[in-house]
A = this chain, B = another copy of it.
Amino acid sequence: MSAKHVGVALLGLGVVGGGTYEILRDKRDMILKNDGVDIEVRRVLDRNSDRLKQLGAESLAARDIDEIVNDPDVDIVAEFFGGVEPARSFLIKALEAGKSIVTANKEMLAKSWRELEAAAERGGGGLYFEASCVGGVPVIRTLTDSMQGNAVTSLKGIVNGTTNYILSRMSDEGVEYGECLKEAQRLGYAEANPSADVDGFDSSYKNCILSSLAYRRRVPLDRIYREGISKINVKDIAYGKELGYTLKLLAISKCRDGRVEARVHPSFLPSAHPLAAVKGPFNALYIHGDSVDDIMLYGRGAGALPTGSAIVSDIVFAAGKDTHRRFAFELEDGGDTVISDDFSSAHYIRFDVKNEEGTLAKISGAFAKCGVPVKTVLKKDDGTLIIVTHEAGESAVVRALAAAEQLSGVERVAAHIRVEE
Chain A residues within CB distance 8 Å of chain B: 1, 19, 23-24, 27, 30-31, 34-35, 130, 135-138, 141-142, 145-151, 216, 272, 274, 277-278, 289-300, 303, 305-306, 308-313, 316-317, 322, 326, 328
A49 to B146, CA, bound (A): 32
Cross-interface CB contact of A274 among B147, B272, B277, B326, cutoff 8 Å: B277
What are 20 residue pairs bridging A and B, where the CB atoms are less than 8 Å apart in the complex?
A: A23-B291, A24-B149, A27-B149, A34-B216, A135-B292, A136-B291, A136-B292, A138-B141, A138-B146, A141-B146, A145-B313, A148-B312, A149-B316, A274-B278, A292-B305, A293-B299, A293-B306, A294-B300, A296-B296, A322-B322
Cross-interface CB contact of A292 among B142, B289, B293, B299, cutoff 8 Å: B299
The oligomer's copy count stands at 2
* B299 & A298 in contact (Cβ 8 Å cutoff): no
Residues of B within 8 A of A151 (CB): 27, 30
Q: Separation in Å of the A159 CB from the closest CB of chain B?
A: 15
* A130 & B149 in contact (Cβ 8 Å cutoff): no
Residues of B within 8 A of A308 (CB): 149, 291
* A300 & B292 in contact (Cβ 8 Å cutoff): yes
* Chain A contact surface mostly: mixed
Q: Of residues A151, A306, A328, which shows the largest number of chain B Cβ atoms within 10 Å of its Cβ?
A: A306
Residues of B within 8 A of A299 (CB): 292-296
* B277 & A306 in contact (Cβ 8 Å cutoff): no
Residues of B within 8 A of A1 (CB): 326, 328
* A150 & B309 in contact (Cβ 8 Å cutoff): yes
Cross-interface CB contact of A293 among B216, B290, B295, B300, cutoff 8 Å: B300
Residues of B within 8 A of A312 (CB): 148-149, 291
Residues of B within 8 A of A149 (CB): 23-24, 27, 31, 308-309, 311-313, 316
Residues of B within 8 A of A295 (CB): 136-137, 297-300
Residues of B within 8 A of A294 (CB): 299-300
Q: Separation in Å of the A146 CB from the closest CB of chain B?
A: 4
Assuming A293-B300, A295-B299, is B138 touching A142 (CB within 8 A)? Answer: yes
Residues of B within 8 A of A277 (CB): 272, 274, 277
* B274 & A298 in contact (Cβ 8 Å cutoff): yes
* A137 & B292 in contact (Cβ 8 Å cutoff): yes
